[in-house]
Amino acid sequence: SESIRKALSMGADKAVHLIDDGLAGSDGLQTSAALAAVLSRIGFDLVILGAESTDARMGVMAAMLAERLGVPQVSLASKVEVDGSAITIHRQRDYGYDKVEASLPAVISVVEKINEPRYPSFKGIMAAKKKPVETFTLADTGVDAGQVGLESAATAVVSFANRPPRQAGTVVKDEGDGGSKAAEFLAGQKFI
Q: Give the predicted TM-score (pTM) of the model.
A: 0.77
Measured CA to CA, the distance from residue 156 to residue 152 in angstroms comes to 10
Distances (CA, A) of 110 to 36, 53, 113, 123, 135: 19, 12, 8, 28, 26
- Whole-Å CA distances, 76 to 48, 73, 83, 97, 181: 11, 10, 19, 11, 42
Residue 26 corresponds to which amino acid?
S
Return per-residue pLDDT of the chain as tens, 192 residues: 899 999 999 999 999 999 999 999 999 899 999 999 999 999 999 999 988 777 667 789 999 999 999 999 999 999 999 999 999 999 988 898 999 999 999 999 999 888 888 888 999 999 999 999 999 999 999 999 999 999 999 988 888 899 889 888 878 788 888 888 888 888 988 888
Tell me what pLDDT residue 176 has. Answer: 86
Contact 135, 38 (CB under 8 A): no
| Cα separation values, 72 from 18, 60, 88, 89, 158, Å | 24, 14, 12, 13, 33
Do 17 and 6 form a contact (C-beta atoms < 8 A)? no
Predicted pLDDT of residue 14: 93
